[in-house]
A and B are shown apart, each in its own frame.
Chain A
Amino acid sequence: MAGLKRKESSPPSLSPEIIASHGLSEEEYQKIIKLLGREPNTTELGVFSVMWSEHCSYKSSKSFLKLLPTEGPAVLQGPGENAGIVDIGKGLVAVFKMESHNHPSFIEPYQGAATGVGGILRDIFTMGARPIASLNSLRFGSFDHPRTRYLLSGVVAGIGGYGNCIGVPTVGGELYFDESYNANILVNAFSLGIAKKDRIFKGKAKGAGNSLIYVGAKTGRDGIHGATMASESFSQQKATRRPTVQVGDPFTEKLLLEACLELMEKDFLVGIQDMGAAGLTSSSAEMAGRGGTGVELDLSRVPLREKGMTPYEILLSESQERMLLVVKKGSEEEAKRIFERWDLDAVVVGRVTKDRLFRASFDGGEVVRIPIAALTTEAPVYARPAERPQNHEEIQKLDLSKIDAPKDLGATLKTLLDSPNVASKRWVYRQYDQFVRSNTVVAPGADAAVIRIKGTEMGLALTVDGNSRYCYLDPYVGGILTVAEAARNLACVGARPLGLTDCLNFGSPENPSVMWQFSEVIHGMRDSCVALGVPVVSGNVSFYNETDGVPIYPTPTVGMVGLLPKLERYVTPWFKSAGDLVVLLGRNREELGGSEYLKVVHGLVRGTPPWIDLRLERAVQQCCLKAIERGMIRSAHDISEGGLAVALAECCVVGPEKPLGVKVELPEMMRPDARLFGESQSRIILSIKEKDLGRLKAIAEKEGVPVQILGQVGGSHFVIQPLIQLAVDELKSIWSNGLEKRLQ
């Protein structure tokens, strides 16, 4: 990167090459000149380039994100802060967010994923919450792609390496493989913390004269321009970006976490923000922006890892495990003592000012002087052209009459249970500490994770979901289904949704087809959120997930959090005892478009995703929740990838004990493959005691939900009459080993 002469006074004009290498367009550069009233120096150019990067400014997505509903009875903090906050009662709040670390994880999977976890955890404890659970949503290329195993192993080890060491359990997640991600993997990390309602901290720099204190790890040259990298597409040459990936140190972050939480018990902390993307620059500028103030930094005071770092490098470094605090004037020494106890650096590096300027000096000379507004509210916003892709009509065409249903449907079921997208993800979650903090009630492998809130009767349910194939075939419907499935997963464990966070992973926003997908997905998510009453409280957008001009499938992933007022009523997906009745809530339709079956068995990604009636969806969820609340549900499982047959098989085999058999009958209403493997929405498989059938029917009738008795739990076989009869032990073994055997 271009070096900077110290104490420059009137810099020479910057060359077009330097401007372009900072990812700024000519128009954007002219706007900078207009806002400053002069040309920027190189350091200022660097500051603008990161603050105006897509990653930090949301310049292409901002106008769409406004469409999402962000308010609700439980919402205390919506998007725009470090994380969202919902009220869970008893004077407690849940603080949560999901963030992407896609680009770094593709370049260096272990560190990229590890620092993704580190970053999201900082966003949580920055707000005064102790992180108590993490999830992750992962997408890799096809299993046959030569890099997939390497990337998967590295990412999983990195997530575990960081989360295990810092002592936050990873309690759930999702994992998919598809060619669409061969050259752009997705690593979305979710974390949730609990705070007291009256001890919430925000990223605001208030009170002129208050001190800015830098705490945590020293600043090095790592990660410079990470935010800019995340705002560009890959090409074959971009593997040389490796030096921009940071290296994580979970031990330091553990100390930082404990020290910050200790500090937050005191009364002199005014504001706090993590130094994540764009490091010291964005943390200080954003805090001043929210506080309506300015900041003055003395870069000579910043603790450095290496000698000879320039102001440019200090401002743009993305070294991990660093925080910026605003403390009341006069309390600096007290704050420092807390960090000293934890053996951490804490240095006053500046102060809050009234002048609404971002100012930085180095060795006594001013090197940056930019109005805060120019970096925040005045950052460019684009209404990028959006256009439906030309092939869209074509990919939605699906002529089922040309596709024969397999003769041996049992073999097809086995193929699906064995496929990496359906098979058990045990190989992954066994590498994560799922139990630390002793709150884990339902560990990975269920529809949603359940954790208890110590000292209360309450529990929280957490899930991450996404189906990019649906979004590719119809981004509007895909957006709806993503939110609906997450809410349905919560309903299956007995939790009512409080809010969601999202990661919106897309290709380049400069591509009109991608922008169209983005717009459609947002509209779909909005409609689903409104219908199901789930507000969006935080999230992140990751564009430029494309290589050599080929974008990934549009992949919104949703992390949703729900409340169980009485934790003891939680429900798990597996069958409990022989003799229980198996009941289906919802309606079967002949739908195979976008299904896992079409892809795995016929190699097709075509058609339209399943249809959804949001009123029925809501009713099915309400029915399930009410039945759980009345204590009559033995097991509940959502039907998703692989359809009814796969979901039923999962009910038999996913439990921790010996698998239970089942015998059901499916009336012949449609072609057998659609009956078994179609992915019609708004369906839940329940098991109940026979005596509770009447009560369940009464609830369903009141909610307007169709109920169908499928059969009975029991025996050693998995029987769907007249189509399939297989030993349940065999199914368990296939499902359990599908992923593992491919990785050995």
Chain B
Amino acid sequence: MHWGVVVFPGSCDDQDVHDCLNNVLRQKVEFLWHKDKLKGKIDCVVLPGGFSYGDYLRAGAMARFSPIMQGVIDFAQKGGLVLGICNGFQILCESGLLPGALTRNTQLQFVCRQVYLRLEESDTPFTCAGKKGQLLRLPVKHGDGCYYADPATLEKLRKNRQILFRYADSKGKSSESANPNGSLDHIAGVCNEGRNVFGLMPHPEDAGEKILGSEDGLKIFSSIIEACDPKEKKAWLG
């Protein structure tokens, strides 16, 4: 399949996503420049982490207006797969592709640490290679990762099973101390109603190799590969 990784001014994890997909999973990856239009055959668009436009206003608030985002919004509305990681998640919320908002971490500090995520739903293109209840160990690194949604939206998220990951401890239990940013209902990642747009705060691309301490991040990328083309499944399983 063909991946597009958007490069905003201030994107930091664009190369990490590229390397994880290309070097580890042998995928075809193309960088998409923020000033360009979205064109060509892309199966999945990734909005990477970083500080787009410096995030001096509100995380993701500027990026949603960039030329590439108009194309990404159209692509998503037509059912294309969009994955937003960290700053990418913030941009997806700002642009209305995902419900809710990411606010300042409750401890008011940037937080970088390893966390466990509990996989809540496996019937999405982003989680289909995993099992419900499975734990993934990934790093988080953000200042604005506290997910918030109003009660009606939260209710809808639960009802539609749009909460794909929650923060948990190593035994799979959610708790205050396992939650790195104070997010509502321990939410780490949500998808849209159409289940084709997904955003999460932790970084799967920085947990794609044993030497980096965890390969659990591959679960998310390989789900997408599996969802797009079942024939490729064998290739990445090696």
Return the CB mask of B195-214 against A: 1 if under 8 Å, else 0.
00000000101101101110
Instruction: Please give the number of chain B residues whose Cβ is less than 8 angstroms from any Cβ of chain A in the complex.
Output: 34
Whether A255 lies near B9 (C-beta < 8 A) is: yes
A251 and B212 contact, Cβ closer than 8 Å, known pairs A430-B111, A454-B19: no
Whether A251 lies near B112 (C-beta < 8 A) is: no
Nearest chain B CB to A690's CB is how many angstroms away? 27
Q: Which of B19, B109, B203 contacts A431 (CB 8 A)?
A: B109
Listed residue (B19, B49, B112, B211) with the most chain A CB atoms within 10 angstroms of its CB: B112
Nearest chain A CB to B106's CB is how many angstroms away? 14
Instruction: Decide yes or no whether A179 CB sits under 8 A from chain B.
Output: no
Q: Which of B51-59, B119-127, B155-163, B228-236 contacts A (4 or more CB under 8 A)?
A: B51-59
Nearest chain B CB to A443's CB is how many angstroms away? 8
Nearest chain A CB to B139's CB is how many angstroms away? 5
Contact residues of B between 1 and 22, Cβ < 8 Å to A: 9-13, 15-16, 19-20
- Separation of A166 and B54 alpha carbons in the complex (Å): 9
Nearest chain A CB to B169's CB is how many angstroms away? 12
Whether B212 lies near A440 (C-beta < 8 A) is: yes
Listed residue (B9, B16, B20) with the most chain A CB atoms within 10 angstroms of its CB: B9
A167 and B12 contact, Cβ closer than 8 Å, known pairs A431-B112, A441-B211: yes
Whether A251 lies near B53 (C-beta < 8 A) is: yes
Nearest chain A CB to B84's CB is how many angstroms away? 17
B-chain residues with CB within 8 Å of residue A439 when the two chains form the complex: 212
Instruction: Decide yes or no whether B95 CB sits under 8 A from chain A.
Output: no
Whether B53 lies near A429 (C-beta < 8 A) is: no
Return the CB mask of A432-454 against B: 1 if under 8 Å, else 0.
11111111110000000000101
Instruction: Decide yes or no whether A157 CB sits under 8 A from chain B.
Output: yes
- Separation of A439 and B212 alpha carbons in the complex (Å): 7
Contact residues of A between 568 and 617, Cβ < 8 Å to B: 568
A251 and B111 contact, Cβ closer than 8 Å, known pairs A166-B12, A167-B13, A342-B9: no
B-chain residues with CB within 8 Å of residue A452 when the two chains form the complex: 211
- Separation of A69 and B30 alpha carbons in the complex (Å): 47
Nearest chain A CB to B88's CB is how many angstroms away? 14
Instruction: Decide yes or no whether B148 CB sits under 8 A from chain A.
Output: no
Whether A438 lies near B112 (C-beta < 8 A) is: no
Q: Which of B9, B23, B141 contacts A454 (CB 8 A)?
A: B23
Instruction: Decide yes or no whether B114 CB sits under 8 A from chain A.
Output: yes
List the A residue with the shortest CB-CB distance to B51.
A165
Instruction: Decide yes or no whether A108 CB sits under 8 A from chain B.
Output: no
A-chain residues with CB within 8 Å of residue B55 when the two chains form the complex: 165, 251
Instruction: Decide yes or no whether B41 CB sits under 8 A from chain A.
Output: no
> Which range holds the interface residue count of chain A?
20 to 34
List the B residue with the shortest CB-CB distance to A443.
B213
Q: Which of B19, B54, B109, B143 contacts A250 (CB 8 A)?
A: B54
Whether B211 lies near A165 (C-beta < 8 A) is: no
- Separation of A176 and B9 alpha carbons in the complex (Å): 37
B-chain residues with CB within 8 Å of residue A436 when the two chains form the complex: 12-13, 16, 49, 141, 206
Whether B56 lies near A251 (C-beta < 8 A) is: yes
B-chain residues with CB within 8 Å of residue A310 when the two chains form the complex: none
B-chain residues with CB within 8 Å of residue A429 when the two chains form the complex: 112
Q: Which of B51, B114, B141, B143 contacts A251 (CB 8 A)?
A: B51
A164 and B211 contact, Cβ closer than 8 Å, known pairs A251-B9, A251-B10, A454-B19: no
Nearest chain B CB to A252's CB is how many angstroms away? 8
List the A residue with the shortest CB-CB distance to B217.
A438
- Separation of A250 and B50 alpha carbons in the complex (Å): 12
Q: Which of A164, A251, A254, A435 contacts B206 (CB 8 A)?
A: A435
Instruction: Decide yes or no whether B110 CB sits under 8 A from chain A.
Output: yes
List the B residue with the shortest CB-CB distance to A342.
B9
Whether A164 lies near B205 (C-beta < 8 A) is: no
A-chain residues with CB within 8 Å of residue B49 when the two chains form the complex: 436
Return the CB mask of A395-430 against B: 1 if under 8 Å, else 0.
000000000000000000000000000000000011
Q: Which of B16, B110, B114, B203 contacts A656 (CB 8 A)?
A: B114
Return the CB mask of A131-162 against B: 1 if under 8 Å, else 0.
00000000000000000000000000100110
- Separation of A255 and B114 alpha carbons in the complex (Å): 29
Listed residue (A167, A254, A430, A435) with the most chain B CB atoms within 10 angstroms of its CB: A435
Whether A434 lies near B112 (C-beta < 8 A) is: yes
Nearest chain A CB to B98's CB is how many angstroms away? 23
Listed residue (A165, A342, A343, A441) with the most chain B CB atoms within 10 angstroms of its CB: A165
B-chain residues with CB within 8 Å of residue A343 when the two chains form the complex: 9
- Separation of A74 and B53 alpha carbons in the complex (Å): 39
- Separation of A432 and B141 alpha carbons in the complex (Å): 8
List the B residue with the shortest CB-CB distance to A450.
B211
B-chain residues with CB within 8 Å of residue A178 when the two chains form the complex: none
Listed residue (A343, A431, A454) with the most chain B CB atoms within 10 angstroms of its CB: A431
- Separation of A264 and B167 alpha carbons in the complex (Å): 43
Whether B112 lies near A432 (C-beta < 8 A) is: yes
- Separation of A343 and B139 alpha carbons in the complex (Å): 32
Whether B13 lies near A249 (C-beta < 8 A) is: no
* A-B contact list, 11 entries, CB within 8 Å: A165-B54, A251-B53, A251-B55, A254-B12, A255-B10, A342-B9, A433-B112, A436-B12, A439-B212, A440-B212, A454-B19
With A160-B110, A167-B51, A454-B19 given, name 9 new contacts (CB 8 A): A157-B110, A161-B110, A251-B54, A254-B10, A430-B111, A431-B110, A435-B203, A438-B209, A441-B211
Interface residues of B (CB under 8 A from A): 9-13, 15-16, 19-20, 23, 49-51, 53-56, 109-114, 139, 141, 143, 203, 205-206, 208-209, 211-213
What 3 pairs across the A-B complex have the smallest Cβ distances? Answer: A167-B12, A251-B54, A438-B16
Interface residues of A (CB under 8 A from B): 157, 160-161, 164-167, 249-252, 254-255, 342-343, 429-441, 452, 454, 567-568, 656
